[in-house]
Structure 1
């Protein structure tokens, strides 16, 4: 980490000397000397940074270098602050005038004095450094191998995990769930961190049989410092989301705990449900949530994971046989996982087998430790056994005498030390975020850039370099994917608890960040970053952190001060570059922010701020302004002075109908928006402010994502002219001002070559010819198009299309998917095609399709013809479909039919199958099931693992879950024949 800090400082120092050469007359030589000495020590620091433990002498030396680097950065920034504050914007344009001023002369003398004092410290450190090398007989290492950081391979990094050793416990837990008692049961999975408890339970939770058995399912992650009301609201949101069209009760956001609990109890009382509580740390957490889930004698279940046996036993006190102790992997399973992760063909070369087995023995069957070790070895030369022996030796001796937990920590720590310096800072940044919350990928990337962790590379933007860093951390198994898009792009991520413990320890040692969880928590005045998690009084301590560069506030009202206390932020924290106030109850833009002239990243996302003052122009270094889900609807013209602005997000979603349809709201942009020449992301500007606005967009040649609302037909020619110039564009979204307004994009002659995502919401007279040339397109969403021609023939040859959504796109009666069409399509959505009567899928079409969603197609008479040929299809979702359509999908073709003949089965078998059903129906109702099995379309979809149908009946929404036939169930579970 110190290596990264010094590298960052050297870059900053070199730039400062070059830019302010005249201002530094008399001290230039001292500054250059400091830079030279730090450069001399840099290679040695790189070697030290890769060491797992320092001796006392090296620890003092590294700390001294870190202090000097911090102090030098402070001197440079305070000098710039003084000049900028005294001379304002003129500083940047009139250096000669400033250098002749009396005030500047005083500032020059001050910086000269401070740099001379710093030079003396650097001389002492340099002498101590040389003495250390001589005393320890260390030769200065070569820097040739460390100057070029390793970069991850490009491409999608989200793949199906190769889970080893999980099938047996998964099958065991599923058996407990679907063949349990009628009373509500509790199941505990207990084991140390790194064993894969969450992975196992996630696989169980998403299993097709489990989904079909439990109509209502909820997954809640309990961090040690969870907020009960937030989790209760999350439970309600998940429960009602499963019902698709059912509206969440009004006022949930303002309810207290008791009222929230009543909503949950009322909802679950008559339903069979599955609740997963992941990561229950204390019995108090169990005691708080257990009463929320009613005992309803419908076969419901609570499944929890915990590291503590005490918690597992307490939760299962009435079901002592339902405590599942997750064991480490067997030697065979460990070896299989190790080989899959380390060797391209899963085969270990003979010359590496012995050392691999010894290394693997240190992992002691912990999947996370094996994953981390694999990440280390994957970067080693497989032809050089000595490199692998060095890894083994670095694990240290005598580990057999330590606990398995300490061993795992040691191994995962090795994967941290093995990182190149540019990734260490990026990984340490995960320690800033509260435990248990998914972290947005793009938020992380923008923060890394603002912090200075990412340096430019030829032919790449900073965002692209940061993306490579992010991917490499995932490939090294240090960062886990939480949510990804259908086309493989990561949306949110997290780090494992084991990794998190290590990062927090390292961050504290290196004074990387102070994490404020308690009101009276203290931190060093040298701290550069503060992360406030859960302490209202913590903001009072900010005024003492004069070196603060980054402030991030989490968890809303419990951690944010009254507005009048915010002035402490600007009075002493003048060097702030990152200010993240996402989700705080801020109602007005804090004027104190305007004094933070070095600010690069400002997030007011999900606040109540509704206007941006013209003084925003003072933030000349601002690169990211995030106002997503705030209440801002217009930006002042002064924002055009922010020439470094790269990301501008100003939009929100609001629910404006009983159908829970989300409407998007953007902002009114200044006329000359093209002045923001550095913009890469601009979302969402409103186009009805004059035609010149669309022409202005052509000046934003660095744009990668563009969102436009309230588009009019007459804007089409100007927008096309602008898009022709935006060759770096990756995502484009255009929404017309009304449903009937035409989106005229016929004039586009040179569509962006690398366009990956396209969203067009409005009338299309036809599919534009240029759309066929979008070879990089992975996602296409068309809405309100109302085309008369079948659009499939124009789109089926797009080579990389993965996700296609149609909403009111086609007014014809037939859709025909041709042979070899849509080769890579995985997700297909067909919504509100009102006249559609039939869908035909030729054999060989849609070979990769995994999910098909059909909604509101009221004239559709039967399931797509040929759907049985879709071998990869995993899920069918039919929403708002007519009764007759749903009846054709059921095994017996009746309205209430749910399965084939049960009446011919033995009573015991009949009851067991009843327990598999997704309906909470009484026995008398089930006796009415028709034994004929003559649902006309059932044979077409019988092999699809998951089928969901939502339809209206007597003014209410009903849900039908299909499931495997009884004979298939018997094949899967032969013990049921008894």
Structure 2
């Protein structure tokens, strides 16, 4: 973690050395420290990670020195800000920085020792360099993550499991109404979980079942945690079950599955006893429900699968092994003979185990394709297998080998995955926010931090260290996770690096621990941990995955240098105002019922970048809050996410002081009835995602909200705009026809606009649009006729609740369409035959449409099959199965 600690310290120093409107020079000690940090960052950027053993001691010294320096600096900044009187609260950041800098020589003699230590390390580095004991990276040693090859390995990594995938899918969909258990059995890391995961996200399987859930049992089986896991998977991660008894949890699971065709994945079942404890949860609805059970024990598999034989996974033969490795590393490219010879030597060291091939493939894919490097890998994968069932090898050794090849800038991002619970899928957007808030991302003047973080994520996916668990319609990563063995390594390595630990397993004393995750019951644990130390705790991030209704904000404030507080699973009764004293906070995610007002004191958190507020179980259209005018003073905000909130219009008179343009703001969700004047547009030059809603009271003209100014949000890529009337107004006025959208828009959701289909050309002309969702009479009229040249890149189209009767389309109008969803289109006569001629079309989904619409869809499917396109499918959804909220 030497690189991550230096990177974080460097950003702290940048903030001090380059404040806005600086009027005096910072103390020379800060500049000298900054120079040492910059040199060491440069060194770690360019030296080959393969040689990390030679400088591992130096890296430990760098890490500890950087941690200590940042603790000293941020502690002093925190003390200075908190000690300022109320009359000075509105002073600018530059004034505060100058006051802080003027006292460095009085307060921080300890920094002199740290600078001496970093100077000593720098001298040793230079000496090693001059003696050629270390070498710089060659530019070609690592392919850029944004290359045209990006993400190919993660999508093709199941080449060796294609036959198994097809066989399991046949078992799951065969015409037997009785509840069946399909057991997948095999040695550790043979690919059981990978196969089950591919089946779970397969669109054919997903559409065959009403409801799906995944739970990981593991060797340390706890019935209550498994029940919670099932409910969270069935109902979503925000299901609050923290205080429910085992009996109540079991009852809720059974209710959720009653009369539903379900698919349940029970991953890693160790004993017959475990299976016997959970099997009673799953009712036999006599409708073709299925359970997939993965296990290493053949007896467990036989006991559970009494209707069909256990499906055994075995090693890949040498041909399949080489085909898998070749596909991951070279794709369709020609393989040089010398690399093929060495590649086949490598696969012999992997013994046909898909997991080993998976990691080696990711490693070779990102590296320079030279014989020397292939030889290096062949001689260093470092284990021999005599009997894999007796664990004659160590998976962690291979993961460690892959980790040691990682560029330094990726290591903290990778180890952060150990924060997540077992088999936890995290949304890409949230992961990137957390990486950024934790300062793992190196700033780049030409790109935003989020863009750099996207590149880091793609790089780790290419290396097969992070798994993509769900893709968006536009082909982007939606959710991701890590293999359980990878997570074990991340936990082990992160604790070794004094980086992360669960409170339950926290060592008695850890001077420099930076990340703490609370994976189990909050009660007592956080209390014991927080009370062990004084208020100078070095913890920078706390992530809660346990559910609780306790208000432990007074304990959280003991972690006074906290940057990240991710506590969506904790139900606070009110906003925990104590946390506004944690002036180093950059990321806050909380669940509480916003009782109409939001504290103005939030503006004290001048470092805050992400603010996420979820009303939890009180979520409804009535859980609305009024944001304080002071929020316009928080110029560092990058992501502001609420469920419903009123954002005041920014004026000097309203705020009563200085406010700053939101130049960093990229996400704004969800504000109500906000006016998009030209002045506001200028204040949001980098907005990329916007979720807004408007409530028509029957008196306000739509034009007063200035929708035509949307076109000036030049960086906007995602827009969700909802219009609705108050309950006493039957029909609202349609949106003005002069509304316009910015050209970079990729995803657009419109609801309740009531605009004529004749005006659809405004949307169709968006050259980058990939996803379009039209809900609740977004467009009205009986006929929609598309024009040539429109919707050139559109991949997904949803039409929900419309009076449309006739739709005129031919294959030239939607040339990129992959998914078409028609829901509650009661008046539509049929799907145009031209839709079926679109070569890219993969799926038509129907819900509550006329029989004639279903018939036309079946005709399209028959035509596709006659042309040899057996991958195309028509999905008929019941009313209760439809989710239109996303």
What TM-score range do you get, normalising by the shorter chain? 0.7 to 0.9
Question: Alignment partner of 1:824: what SS?
Answer: coil
Number of the residue aligned with 1:744 = 735
Matching residue within 651, 655, 664 for 1:678: 664
Q: 1:176 to 1:748 in 2, by over 3 A?
A: closer
The answer on whether the counterparts of 2:785 and 2:808 sit within 8 Å (CA) in structure 1 is yes
Number of the residue aligned with 2:374 = 388
State whether structure 2 residue 25 is matched by structure 1 residue 50. Answer: no
Number of the residue aligned with 1:375 = 362
Number of the residue aligned with 1:517 = 504
Number of the residue aligned with 2:684 = 700
Matched residues in 2 for 1:761 and 1:719: separation?
17
Number of the residue aligned with 1:915 = none
Deviates more, 1:526-535 or 1:258-267: 258-267
The answer on whether the counterparts of 2:190 and 2:314 sit within 8 Å (CA) in structure 1 is yes
Question: Alignment partner of 1:830: what SS?
Answer: strand
Matched residues in 1 for 2:102 and 2:129: separation?
41
Matched residues in 2 for 1:397 and 1:576: separation?
41
State whether structure 2 residue 561 is matched by structure 1 residue 567. Answer: no
State whether structure 2 residue 117 is matched by structure 1 residue 118. Answer: no
Q: 1:628 to 1:767 in 2, by over 3 A?
A: farther
Q: What aligned pairs does 1:899-914 form with structure 2 within 5 A after superposition?
A: none
Matching residue within 522, 526, 532 for 2:512: 526
Matched residues in 1 for 2:803 and 2:494: separation?
56
Matched residues in 2 for 1:11 and 1:212: separation?
48
Question: Alignment partner of 2:648: what SS?
Answer: coil
Number of the residue aligned with 2:276 = 287
How far the C-alpha of 1:871 sits from its partner, in A, is: 5.9
How far the C-alpha of 1:574 sits from its partner, in A, is: 2.1
The answer on whether the counterparts of 2:426 and 2:479 sit within 8 Å (CA) in structure 1 is yes
Deviates more, 1:282-291 or 1:293-302: 293-302
Gaps of 5+ in 2: 617-622, 652-659
Matched residues in 2 for 1:288 and 1:9: separation?
51
Matched residues in 2 for 1:42 and 1:488: separation?
34
Q: 1:222 to 1:433 in 2, by over 3 A?
A: same
Number of the residue aligned with 2:620 = none
Q: 1:347 to 1:191 in 2, by over 3 A?
A: farther
Matched residues in 2 for 1:262 and 1:822: separation?
47
Question: Alignment partner of 2:6: what SS?
Answer: helix
The answer on whether the counterparts of 2:540 and 2:562 sit within 8 Å (CA) in structure 1 is yes
How far the C-alpha of 1:132 sits from its partner, in A, is: 7.2
Question: Alignment partner of 1:585: what SS?
Answer: strand
How far the C-alpha of 1:336 sits from its partner, in A, is: 0.7
* Residues 58-79 of structure 1: CA deviation (Å, up to 9, x unaligned): 4443222211111111222223
Q: 1:489 to 1:742 in 2, by over 3 A?
A: farther
How far the C-alpha of 1:776 sits from its partner, in A, is: 0.4
Q: What aligned pairs does 1:858-897 form with structure 2 within 5 A after superposition?
A: 858=850, 860=852, 863-864=855-856, 867-868=859-860
How far the C-alpha of 1:391 sits from its partner, in A, is: 2.8
The answer on whether the counterparts of 2:385 and 2:392 sit within 8 Å (CA) in structure 1 is no
Number of the residue aligned with 2:750 = 760
Number of the residue aligned with 1:914 = none
Compute the RMSD of aligned alpha carbons: 4.2
Deviates more, 1:542-551 or 1:476-485: 542-551
Matching residue within 322, 346, 352 for 2:309: 322
Q: What aligned pairs does 1:417-456 form with structure 2 within 5 A after superposition?
A: 417-456=404-443
Q: 1:122 to 1:237 in 2, by over 3 A?
A: closer
State whether structure 2 residue 785 is matched by structure 1 residue 797. Answer: no
How far the C-alpha of 1:866 sits from its partner, in A, is: 8.3
How far the C-alpha of 1:620 sits from its partner, in A, is: 0.7
Matched residues in 2 for 1:635 and 1:387: separation?
57
* Residues 28-53 of structure 1: CA deviation (Å, up to 9, x unaligned): 1x444444455555566568882487
Q: What aligned pairs does 1:571-582 form with structure 2 within 5 A after superposition?
A: 571=558, 573-582=559-568
Matched residues in 1 for 2:17 and 2:211: separation?
64
How far the C-alpha of 1:648 sits from its partner, in A, is: 0.7
Q: 1:677 to 1:721 in 2, by over 3 A?
A: farther
Q: 1:838 to 1:121 in 2, by over 3 A?
A: closer
Matched residues in 2 for 1:255 and 1:537: separation?
18
The answer on whether the counterparts of 1:614 and 1:636 sit within 8 Å (CA) in structure 2 is yes
Q: What aligned pairs does 1:14-413 form with structure 2 within 5 A after superposition?
A: 16-17=16-17, 19=19, 28=28, 30-39=29-38, 41-42=40-41, 45=44, 50-51=49-50, 54=53, 58-87=55-84, 88-89=88-89, 92=92, 95=95, 99=99, 108-111=105-108, 113-125=109-121, 138-139=132-133, 141-142=135-136, 145=139, 150-153=144-147, 157=151, 161=156, 163-170=158-165, 172-173=167-168, 186-202=181-197, 218-222=213-217, 228=223, 232=227, 256-262=245-251, 275-281=264-270, 283=272, 285-294=274-283, 302-309=291-298, 311-312=300-301, 315=304, 322-345=309-332, 347-382=334-369, 384-396=370-382, 406=393, 408-413=395-400
Q: 1:737 to 1:203 in 2, by over 3 A?
A: closer
How far the C-alpha of 1:862 sits from its partner, in A, is: 6.0
Q: 1:533 to 1:376 in 2, by over 3 A?
A: same
Q: 1:745 to 1:605 in 2, by over 3 A?
A: farther
Matched residues in 2 for 1:948 and 1:253: separation?
36
Number of the residue aligned with 1:542 = 530
How far the C-alpha of 1:644 sits from its partner, in A, is: 1.0
Question: Alignment partner of 1:627: what SS?
Answer: strand
* Residues 486-519 of structure 1: CA deviation (Å, up to 9, x unaligned): 222222110112221221121111111122236x
Matched residues in 2 for 1:576 and 1:149: separation?
35
Q: 1:709 to 1:32 in 2, by over 3 A?
A: closer
Number of the residue aligned with 2:600 = 614
How far the C-alpha of 1:352 sits from its partner, in A, is: 1.1
The answer on whether the counterparts of 1:369 and 1:412 sit within 8 Å (CA) in structure 2 is no
Q: 1:378 to 1:718 in 2, by over 3 A?
A: same
Matched residues in 1 for 2:637 and 2:709: separation?
20
Matched residues in 2 for 1:350 and 1:97: separation?
61
Number of the residue aligned with 2:646 = 668
Matching residue within 535, 538, 544 for 1:553: 544
How far the C-alpha of 1:105 sits from its partner, in A, is: 6.3
Number of the residue aligned with 2:655 = none
Gaps of 5+ in 1: 242-249, 652-665, 874-938, 960-978
Q: What aligned pairs does 1:810-959 form with structure 2 within 5 A after superposition?
A: 810-811=803-804, 813-842=805-834, 845-858=837-850, 860=852, 863-864=855-856, 867-868=859-860, 949=876
Matched residues in 2 for 1:324 and 1:786: separation?
51
How far the C-alpha of 1:176 sits from its partner, in A, is: 5.4
Matched residues in 2 for 1:697 and 1:284: separation?
62
Q: 1:684 to 1:19 in 2, by over 3 A?
A: closer
Matched residues in 1 for 2:467 and 2:720: separation?
29
Matched residues in 2 for 1:97 and 1:462: separation?
23
* Residues 376-416 of structure 1: CA deviation (Å, up to 9, x unaligned): 2123333x322322332333476779976735433333322
Deviates more, 1:338-347 or 1:943-952: 943-952
Matched residues in 2 for 1:606 and 1:225: separation?
33
The answer on whether the counterparts of 2:185 and 2:311 sit within 8 Å (CA) in structure 1 is yes
Question: Alignment partner of 1:584: what SS?
Answer: strand
Number of the residue aligned with 2:619 = none
Q: 1:792 to 1:429 in 2, by over 3 A?
A: farther
Question: Alignment partner of 2:565: what SS?
Answer: strand
The answer on whether the counterparts of 2:6 and 2:37 sit within 8 Å (CA) in structure 1 is yes
Number of the residue aligned with 1:599 = 585
